[in-house]
Amino acid sequence: MPLNTVDLNPAFEKVLRRRLAYLPPDAPLSPDVPLKGLGLDSMQAVELVFDIEDELGVALPDEAMTAQVFETAASLWAAVRDAGAQPSLEAR
């Protein structure tokens, strides 16, 4: 399946959007756009890992801490999904 057809979990997208400084609040988040270009730097990525753990209840394994995993929303969502399942939080 092409990355641009990936459906991101709404709770995951809400958590991710807070760390994307260059994505306007009303702009769509394309699953295959590089997150670095949307403002996700290494410090934001660390904070994002904590947010995912705290808000979605998913701990990413050490092997998921790679540039490839954090490259796009689709690749990060795949890692979150694989690490712990579908977050049960409703988008607020």
Is 3 a residue whose pLDDT tops 90? no
Residue 5 pLDDT level (bands cut at 50, 70, 90): low
Fold of 34-84: 1.10.1200
User: Is 81 within 8 Å of 89 (Cβ atoms)?
Assistant: no
Q: What per-residue confidence (pLDDT) applies to 89?
A: 46
With CA atoms as reference, report the closest residue to 4 among 67, 61, 75: 75
Residues 6+ apart with CB under 8 A from 92: 14
| pLDDT per position as a tens digit, 35-89 | 999 999 999 999 999 999 999 999 999 999 999 999 999 999 999 999 985 444 4
Rounded to two decimals, the pTM is 0.85
Residues 6+ apart with CB under 8 A from 11: 55, 56, 87, 88, 89, 90, 91
